[in-house]
Structure 1
Amino acid sequence: MLRNQETLNQLPIPSLNNLLEFLNWIKPIVDDKQFQESKQALDEFLAINGDGYKLHNKLLEISEKQECNWLEPLWNDMYLQYRQQLVCNMNYYSILENTKFKPLYTMSTLGAKLTYELISKYIEVSSQRLSPEFIKNQPLCMEQYNHIFKSVRLPLLNKDIYITYQFAKSHHIVVLHNNNIFKLETSDLDGNIISVEIIASKIQKIIDENIQDRANNIASLTTSNRDDASKLYEAIKTDTINKNSLDIINTAIFVLCIDHPTSNTKELQKSILISNGKNRYFDKSCQLIISENLDIGFNNEHTGADATTWFNIINQSFNKIVQDKKETIRISDTSLPEELKWNISDDIKSRLANQLNEHQKFNQNIYVDNLQFSNFGKNLIKELMMSPDAFFHIALQIAQYKTFGIFKSTYESVSMRHFQNGRTECSRAVNEDVSLLAIEICSNNSSKSKLKDLLINAQSSHVKRINNCQKGLGIERHFFALYKLYEKYGEELGIIKTPNIYNSPGYKILTHDFISSSGIAFDSIKLFGFGPVVEDGYGIGYVINNEKITVSISSKTKNKDKAIQLLNNLNEAFLTLVSIAT
């Protein structure tokens, strides 16, 4: 699995002057006054012996002494120091394409098949036998796979910790049903994975017993802000019975949640992303969620790995089940898996119940929706000699302008796994060329030939910015690192106040993730998404497959109407771009 690691390049530190690109990034989203003020702040920052010069030299100095890349420790701290609730803010979700499964399986047999395949992947990862990945013959870093299974984020005051437990011959998952938690052993005495039939029988036994909600609400602690979660966690684990149960959850390979059915896709989205605070454990790296009507979803915690790493595992497991010949899975009578025991005081019960109530209010404040666009997908876009990613983001900016009458910052995640221990860079999808195209389209008075020329320019600019980010020449992670070094070493370096660049209107507007977006392309995944990053913002996850494009959107409920309008305008923009390009 790791045989190509040493051939990967280290993430380069861009030159300080690379930050001049900041001006091009902010130009379409600020006015002239804001631009000039931001330019002056940047000039001060980049001056010889300016704050940026001092911080950049400190970054170079530190990076020479680190065994990991320069961004890695700062990036991990950013995740673990986050103090708001993980639900919707850090965790992301996916919904699988289940049409092939519905006629073939029951909830227990499908749950068992997926469980078996995921545990097989856990064994492959733990034994380092998972095949390395490549993109266009370029090997990708596989280190993230060492931090996905048997992992948990534990709440502590001020900064959490992320733990991946060592491989053991004996292994288990935990199963949540009716808000009660069970330990399901997934290995025999020799460490072999138990059969699908035994796993299915154990799951079915939990379903048949149908133990009603005992109202312990233990998992609601994982819906709290992290400092409150830490206090609750510490109070709960003071009892040895509780500590043992928490240890069982923490050391589980993953969580399987058995859910009641939802009535429509939007309800399913919200259930997988947020839930009502019951029957979930959001601190675990992976929750597999299966409902009675065989809807399949995943909720993943983000610290240990990025979405594409998890989705590759999910996709391989999904495809293995699709390719398998339909087998008869016999359910046999078996013992009920161990139900975790809890000794919860009245005070802690009250605190957990209050947190559950707060989460359900939070749930009501989030709106989710989706676009299932089936007119065309990646195949047609490529026939038109366009990058599917550029196509999507150009359409999104047209939709943004039509919806809001202005361009605001759009975050696009760029994978950096072609570097050793690389995670992501941020590209910003609003550039001058795409803004010109959007304005012309919305004016309705330009010729098709002019629009086609503008479209070519918009695509070129988008692809160029993405390519620069992929080369390690992005600007936002560099700015982020310099700011974190200011926090730690500013006084030592003689920097007595926050550098003006970070308080400039351009920097604040650029890093206000009005639209936060990320895209994938796995046939097994029907929808993928996450919550809005800022109060007035929108979270957009998109899946571009050969013949369709699906989009998940989230916002605060007060922004629901604009979210619906944005999706409708995006649908129209897809069609408009094809009419221009053909």
Structure 2
Amino acid sequence: MSYKLSLARSIIRNQSKNQILSNMTQKNYLAAAPVSKPAVPYPVDTSVGPMFRYQKSLPRLPVPSLPETLAKYLNSVRPLVNEEEFAKTVTAVKDFQKPGGIGDELQRRLLSKANNPNVINWLEDWWNDLAYFSYRDPVCVNVSYFFAYKDDKLRKDPAVRAASIITAALEFRKLVVEEQLEPEYAKNIPLCMDSYRMMFNACRYPKKQTDFELTFDPATNNHVTFIRKNKFFIMDLVKDGKQLSTSEIESQIKKIYELAGNTKDPSIGALTTENRDNWADYRNLLLAADPRNEQLLRKIESSVFAVCLDDTAPVTRDELSHACWVGDGRNRFFDKSLQFIVFENGKAGFCGEHSSMDGTPTCRLNDFVCDSIFKNRVNHGSPNVRSGLPVPEQLNFTLNKDVLDVIAKAEKNFDDLVAKHDLRVLMYQGYGKNGIKKLGFSPDAYVQMIIQLAYYKMYGASVATYESAQTRKFAHGRTEVCRSFSVDSATWVKAMEDPLVPVETKAKLGQKAISSHVKYMAEAVEGRGCDRHLLGEKLPSIFTDPTYAKSTHWNLSTSQLSSEHFDGYGWGEVVPDGYGIAYQVNANVLCFNVVSMHLNNHHMCHYLKEAADEMKQVFEIVQAKEGRVPSKL
């Protein structure tokens, strides 16, 4: 049996929903090119475009030493268990790392792979397979993620807004295809840009046991898929060698609205919401119904991206976020890497397929789209519409009874799955990133403590907490886990809820908890967390120890991506008794998206607000006593 030094499949199935986003706020590098490039300590490769000029110089993902990882693991699980349980865990760890034991053997094999000159990233193939392509549950709800855009006051007509979004997205695509997009940086270190290859003209395919993904030549595939009333349309973006202007795209979209009419077709898109093995079978049924169906599917799969023209009109943030996340499960094709969504009232958003690309690249794409439109930096082209534009092509699939039956089954399964979930958005307007910085703290670590305190307020206990940390400073790096719940955070939340503890002590313990989180995150982004390292399909006692299962049962699945143009973003919970809490740390507001299987999300939102209020109060009181009162948050 091959040892794969990672989490067991059963644990990875829970984690895979969680690998969406990094802790990094997209700030200085959201534009196509930063105002000033940092001094980078890597040589420049002039044989490729600027986007990949540092790619060959990126270091490989490190393999931590076994003692380092196990010490970090023990420290992270200590507050989760009692003395007796912890003693058993210590024994399991000692047995695992004894000289000449299974730990040494696994570490030796891992180092052998990591040192293979033909292997770019020792984790990459294992992680992509186990966490994504072998994951069999539906990607919708479980894996897909969304961004909900703020309103565009100038473009309330859905055709107008959709056209502007497409034009802006095509500008970003041009930068990617021509390799002119400026790399992203963490301080002065460039990040891996390889995943951008999977952004446009890409699609996931269902296959029994493990899926796969294909990309298509952008030079010969310049068409967009539109979905309206469950019907699929193809629009060519180029005519006579020239890209369609925004006005021309708008006129073509209006034709799609007319062609779609007021009736809905059977929803082929609903099949993409199914269990992946079921979808593989259903796809074969669809192909068997008519050989021409495969050609029609290929047009969807090879398109630049999909645009979903929904016939609903969400109003509240909750409604908009839910509609961007899952919609009605029909007017979608969840295997496409990029789906832009525009609603009847002009509201809009995005849904991303997650298997080959994490959230930072798509956050950058979506922020670029919104920011360039808002700041009128989009080249919309001529306002005149050329004559003779070909009518968008409707894809008329042949559907027999077998296909219609599985569509109905998929729709019911989707409805049942979504009905088990609740989504709530809290837009906390008390303060944001600027206010947290004035208090002297890391914004991300501070918000993680808000979440810790809110959970403790609600349940009187603390739980294993996952925060995604990106490892893209390494070649083909994706994510590592930052374990947010710690000995220090456990001590602090108890103090915050104890009215007899002096406010000075609460502040001191809070500062220590935040510092502890910052330290763990710094190690995680360097590839020195404990979760990616500890992985094995043949499980030694360290992995069968109940403490290990408890420490990877992520009751709190959290992550941050931020944009001033988003009204929400998020994904689903990773365990049935847990929460998915995505958050944005914007300049003056904090946005929390809370998803769970009806675990009183409205109460969680209440406690998040209460925790944010109380933390601010504690730190301000102490600063005032010390004579260093911050300006108004």
- Measure, in 2, the Cα distance between the counterparts of 1:102 and 1:293: 11
Q: Tell me if the contact between 1:102 and 1:294 (Cα under 8 Å) persists in the aligned partners.
A: no
- Measure, in 2, the Cα distance between the counterparts of 1:550 and 1:478: 32
Identical pairs, percent: 29
SS in 2 for 1:83: coil
Q: Tell me if the contact between 2:141 and 2:572 (Cα under 8 Å) persists in the aligned partners.
A: yes
CA apart distance, 1:325: 7.1
Matched, 1:103 2:141: no
Q: Normalization by structure 2: what TM-score?
A: 0.86
In terms of mean alpha carbon deviation, does 153-162 or 272-281 score higher?
A: 272-281
- Measure, in 1, the Cα distance between the counterparts of 2:562 and 2:175: 23
Deviations along 1:182-222, one digit per CA (max 9) or x if unpaired, are 001112232x3211111110111112344244432111110
| Pairing partner for 1:21 from 68, 72, 75 | 72
Matched, 1:475 2:530: yes
CA apart distance, 1:498: 2.1
Number of the residue aligned with 1:266: 318
Distance 1:408 1:248, change over 3 A: same
Number of the residue aligned with 1:72: 124
Deviations along 1:384-404, one digit per CA (max 9) or x if unpaired, are 110001110111111111111
Matched, 1:449 2:487: no
Alignment of 1:171-210 (within 5 A): 171-190=222-241, 192-210=242-260
Number of the residue aligned with 2:558: 517
Alignment of 1:32-47 (within 5 A): 32-47=83-98
- Measure, in 1, the Cα distance between the counterparts of 2:88 and 2:401: 57
| Pairing partner for 2:297 from 243, 246, 267 | 246
Gaps of 5+ in 1: 488-496
* 1:135 counterpart letter in structure 2: A
Deviations along 1:135-161, one digit per CA (max 9) or x if unpaired, are 222211111111111111100000000
Q: Tell me if the contact between 2:317 and 2:568 (Cα under 8 Å) persists in the aligned partners.
A: no
Matched, 1:569 2:607: yes
- Measure, in 2, the Cα distance between the counterparts of 1:332 and 1:188: 9
- Measure, in 2, the Cα distance between the counterparts of 1:97 and 1:215: 30
Matched, 1:313 2:365: yes
SS in 2 for 1:289: strand
Gaps of 5+ in 2: 1-50, 621-633
- Measure, in 2, the Cα distance between the counterparts of 1:36 and 1:291: 56
Deviations along 1:153-188, one digit per CA (max 9) or x if unpaired, are 100000000112122244111001111110011122
SS in 2 for 1:267: helix
* 1:77 counterpart letter in structure 2: D
Q: Tell me if the contact between 1:170 and 1:188 (Cα under 8 Å) persists in the aligned partners.
A: no
Equivalent pairs, count: 562
Q: Normalization by structure 1: what TM-score?
A: 0.94
Number of the residue aligned with 2:20: none
Matched, 1:5 2:60: no
- Measure, in 2, the Cα distance between the counterparts of 1:118 and 1:240: 33
Number of the residue aligned with 1:223: 273
* 1:7 counterpart letter in structure 2: S
Matched, 1:458 2:526: no
Distance 1:32 1:330, change over 3 A: farther
- Measure, in 1, the Cα distance between the counterparts of 2:266 and 2:567: 34
* 2:404 counterpart letter in structure 1: K
| Pairing partner for 2:136 from 71, 83, 97 | 83
Number of the residue aligned with 2:19: none
* 2:208 counterpart letter in structure 1: L
Matched, 1:281 2:281: no
SS in 2 for 1:14: coil
SS in 2 for 1:478: coil
SS in 1 for 2:261: coil
* 1:108 counterpart letter in structure 2: A
SS in 1 for 2:528: coil
In terms of mean alpha carbon deviation, does 124-133 or 153-162 score higher?
A: 124-133
- Measure, in 2, the Cα distance between the counterparts of 1:544 and 1:288: 23
Alignment of 1:522-533 (within 5 A): 522-533=563-574
Number of the residue aligned with 1:492: none
Number of the residue aligned with 2:107: 56
CA RMSD of aligned residues (A): 1.7
- Measure, in 2, the Cα distance between the counterparts of 1:278 and 1:42: 48
Number of the residue aligned with 1:388: 443
Deviations along 1:314-366, one digit per CA (max 9) or x if unpaired, are 11121111121798956789654100011111111111111111111111111
- Measure, in 2, the Cα distance between the counterparts of 1:353 and 1:193: 39
SS in 2 for 1:375: coil
Q: Tell me if the contact between 1:241 and 1:341 (Cα under 8 Å) persists in the aligned partners.
A: no
* 2:525 counterpart letter in structure 1: Q
- Measure, in 2, the Cα distance between the counterparts of 1:214 and 1:464: 53
- Measure, in 2, the Cα distance between the counterparts of 1:504 and 1:188: 63
Number of the residue aligned with 1:506: 547
